[in-house]
Amino acid sequence: MVKKVKYISPLKLGVAASTLNRVLNEASGVSPEMALRLSKTLGRSPESWLTMQDNYDLWQAKQTVDLGKVSAIEFRVA
């Protein structure tokens, strides 16, 4: 999830308005390409933009994934 700011021009990012709109409205995530564009336009490293997206995606998964039938594997040294 990208924190919404008052106005980001899609032209400054070099993307279509619909592309930026999907990211801001959480219909699409931040891709590596978008992370590079956000980094240049707004600052922060591309890695930090991707880390924020990964953290959000993991949080979303924790809300919906049922791990009740998943069990740990025991590893033994041969």
Tens of pLDDT, residue by residue over 46-55, are 999 999 999 9
Q: What is the mean pLDDT of the chain?
A: 90
Tens of pLDDT, residue by residue over 34-44, are 999 999 998 89
* Structural domain count of the chain: 1
**The pLDDT of residue 2 is above 70:** no
Residue at 70 is within a domain? no
Tokens standing for residue 12: 């400054």
Query: How many Å from the N-terminal Cα to the C-terminal Cα in the chain?
Result: 45
Per the CB < 8 A criterion, the answer to whether 41 and 13 are in contact is yes
Residue at 34 is within a domain? yes
Q: Which domain holds residue 48?
A: 10-64
**Prediction pTM value:** 0.76
DSSP 25: T
**The pLDDT of residue 1 is above 80:** no
Q: Residue 46: how many CB atoms within 10 A of its CB?
A: 17
How sure is the predictor about 9, in pLDDT bands with cuts at 50, 70 and 90? confident
